[in-house]
């Protein structure tokens, strides 16, 4: 596995129900996880009460809401590349939109200095020709070749008529790094194809992708000239549909995800897949929502929210099987990771979001993602669990002790697994930030008399040597940091369960997740 779990991403939620449709909840995590190497605090028996769905305030922006897409599972999809032969039988379909000639005229007048006299005269002739068409004036908005959306503009024959040129504006940066608008002009379609080639080479695209993009651009241009295409109704193309994204043919990292294909195939009809964008982090995420057996949309369920979906979604079939076998109550499993066109082999992006940008990540989960999920599923947030391991443990430690700063309260339970707090220490030292902040648990107990969440703190008893090369002089090892956190939690009488597994850094995770599910959400 590529689970060098030092940079694991994201932690998610569990909640509590009873089996056989009773739908009961627990007010605290049961701490019966005991072995020879387990130390548990004593907790009262779980108190039950009727479940009711939780309402959270959704703070997503209009732009973020615009790009949320809930659909069936696509993790198992395989993409078929279009034929790269320009002479092959290609299918072209075009969605047109109604043009606004008045806006075009205003733009040309406001940007007159961008054009030579010849260019300006040519654009005005094109505009006058369009104005004669009146309400029937249509522009190609989205062009699909063999079912894939072309990611670039395709000129029309009018652009090059009478010695004219094709142009568009893009954003570049000046010598000071400031953005500036740049006009690009092409005297022929061949010049434009050469621009596509040069741009793709600069961006590091493989030769195969470059040639395919050039071929499909030529096919689309020829179809526009000949009229040999299908006209699609305005607004009929879903540009967020990943199956239509030509980019995904070459930048589809589904193969990086670790899961048993047959096991996922067996539960795929119970999995909702959600694409969701966060402006604060500037990243697109993929969320998998695995519904329990005999899911009833009118009933309320707790959520087991797992970060690092690239690995942890692979645990969901086994966790769901625990529910099928009556070993655990029905809960909704949620896993979170980046979109399928993002790869992070060195796990630097995870470290960035879980450790450096942990505040923004917590904002996203607390005020965007969980409220959205609560709008689409009946969730009991008070009995939901946020899980994180390694750098994810750094994140859940932060999330727990900053939970009181939020109006929304999406989690009642937190799993802090093998937190790599020494990695946070290294970042703080580099930035000149005091390590007292996290070593004092973000001053939570200065603001509050007690911790009103439950904590499951765990690690592998053999894991300290796993990252010995990363420890610096004065660092606590992972286990030393865990031990100190345990002492702090106990000193504040926190509701704590603590366990060391006979394991290295990440090998215990599947066992721990199943065990936690059964013990915290018993039938």
pLDDT at 179: 83
**By the 8 A CB rule, do 99 and 137 touch?**
yes
Q: Rounded to 5 degrees, what are φ and ψ at 48?
A: -110, 155
pLDDT confidence of residue 259: 97
Fold exhibited by the domain 5-74+253-520: Rossmann fold (3.40.50)
Q: Delimit the domains of the chain by residue range.
A: 5-74+253-520, 92-250
User: Which two structure tokens, joined as six digits, stand for 406?
Assistant: 């939020």
- 154 phi, psi to nearest 5 deg: -115, 125
Of the candidates 479, 504, 506, 122, the residue with the CA atom closest to the CA atom of residue 312: 506
Task: Please state the length of the chain.
Answer: 523
| Three-class secondary structure of residue 182 per DSSP | strand
| DSSP structure class, residue 205 | -
**Gap between the Cα atoms of 74 and 254, Å rounded:** 9
How far is the C-alpha of 147 from the C-alpha of 244, rounded, in Å?
6
User: Is the backbone of residue 37 left (phi > 0), alpha (psi -120 to 50) or beta?
Assistant: alpha
Instruction: Give dist(CA 312, CA 253) in Å, integer.
Output: 16
Burial 415-444 (b: 16+ CB within 10 A, else e): bbbbbbbbbbbbebeeeeeeeeebbebbeb
Distance of CA 505 to the CA centre of its chain: 25
Joined together, the tokens standing for residue 123 give 């654009």
pLDDT of residue 200: 94
Please give the Cα distance from 18 to 5 (Å, whole number). Answer: 33
Give me the pLDDT at residue 381, please.
97
From the number of C-beta atoms within 10 Å of its C-beta (0-12, 13-18, 19+), residue 75 rates as middle
First-to-last alpha carbon distance for the chain, in angstroms, is 32
402 within 8 A of 367, measured Cβ to Cβ: no
The pTM for the full model equals: 0.79
What residues of the chain score a pLDDT lower than 50?
1-18, 20-50
pLDDT for residue 178: 81
What's the pLDDT at 136?
58
**DSSP label at 431?**
H
Q: Which of 246, 451, 253 is nearest to 342 (CA)?
A: 253
Q: How many CB atoms sit inside 10 A of residue 271's CB?
A: 21
What pLDDT, in 10s, does the model give residues 483-493? 999 999 999 99
Surface-to-core class of residue 270, CB atoms within 10 Å of its CB (0-12 exposed, 13-18 middle, 19+ buried): middle
462 token code pair = 């053999």
Cα-based distances in Å from 309 to 141, 346, 388: 35, 16, 11
Buried b (16+ CB within 10 A) or exposed e, 118-129: ebbebbeebeee
Whether the CB-CB separation of 423 and 355 falls below 8 Å is answered with yes
């Amino acid at each position: 596995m590529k689970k060098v779990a030092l940079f694991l991403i994201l932690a998610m939620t569990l909640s509590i129900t009873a089996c056989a449709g009773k739908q009961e909840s627990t007010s605290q995590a049961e701490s019966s996880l005991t072995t020879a190497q387990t130390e548990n605090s004593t907790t009262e028996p779980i108190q039950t009460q009727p479940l009711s769905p939780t309402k959270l305030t959704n703070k997503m922006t209009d732009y973020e809401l615009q790009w949320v897409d809930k659909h069936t599972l696509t993790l198992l999809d395989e993409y078929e590349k279009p034929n790269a032969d320009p002479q092959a039988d290609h299918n072209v379909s075009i969605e047109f939109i109604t043009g606004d000639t008045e806006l075009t005229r205003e733009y040309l007048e406001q940007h007159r200095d961008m054009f030579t006299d010849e260019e300006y005269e040519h654009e005005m002739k094109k505009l006058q020709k369009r104005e004669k068409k009146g309400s029937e004036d249509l522009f190609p908005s989205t062009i699909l070749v063999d079912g894939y959306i072309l990611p670039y503009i395709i000129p029309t024959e009018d652009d090059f008529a009478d010695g004219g040129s094709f142009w568009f504006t893009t954003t570049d940066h000046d010598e000071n790094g400031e953005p500036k608008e740049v006009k690009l002009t092409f005297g022929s379609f061949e010049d434009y194809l050469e621009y596509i080639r040069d741009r793709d080479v600069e961006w590091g695209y493989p030769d195969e992708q470059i040639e395919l993009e050039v071929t499909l651009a030529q096919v689309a241009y020829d179809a526009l000239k000949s009229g040999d295409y299908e006209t699609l109704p305005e607004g009929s193309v879903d540009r967020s549909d990943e199956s239509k994204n030509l980019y995904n043919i070459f930048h589809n990292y589904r193969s990086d995800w670790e899961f048993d294909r047959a096991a996922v195939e067996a539960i795929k009809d119970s999995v909702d897949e959600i694409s969701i964008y966060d402006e604060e982090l500037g990243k697109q995420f993929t969320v998998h929502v695995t519904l329990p057996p005999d899911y009833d949309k009118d009933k309320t369920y707790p959520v087991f929210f797992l970060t690092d979906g690239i690995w942890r979604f692979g645990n969901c079939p086994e966790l769901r099987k625990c529910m099928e076998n009556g070993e655990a109550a029905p809960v909704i499993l949620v896993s979170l990771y980046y979109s399928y066109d993002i790869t992070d082999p060195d796990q630097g992006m995870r470290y960035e979001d879980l450790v450096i940008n942990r505040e923004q990540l917590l904002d996203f989960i607390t005020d965007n993602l969980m409220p959205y999920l609560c709008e689409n599923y009946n969730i009991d947030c008070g009995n939901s669990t946020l899980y994180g391991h390694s750098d994810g443990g750094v994140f859940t430690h932060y999330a727990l002790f900053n939970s009181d700063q939020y109006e929304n309260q999406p989690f009642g339970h937190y799993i802090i697994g093998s937190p790599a707090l020494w990695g946070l220490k290294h970042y703080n030292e580099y930035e000149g930030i005091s390590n007292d902040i996290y070593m004092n648990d973000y001053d939570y107990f200065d603001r509050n008399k007690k911790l009103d969440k439950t904590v499951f703190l765990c690690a592998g008893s053999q894991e300290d040597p796993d990252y010995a090369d990363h420890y610096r002089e004065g660092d606590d090892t992972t286990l030393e940091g865990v031990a100190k956190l345990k002492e702090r939690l106990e000193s504040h009488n926190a509701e704590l369960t603590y366990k060391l597994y006979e394991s290295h850094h990440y090998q215990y995770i599947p066992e721990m997740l199943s065990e936690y599910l059964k013990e915290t959400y018993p039938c």
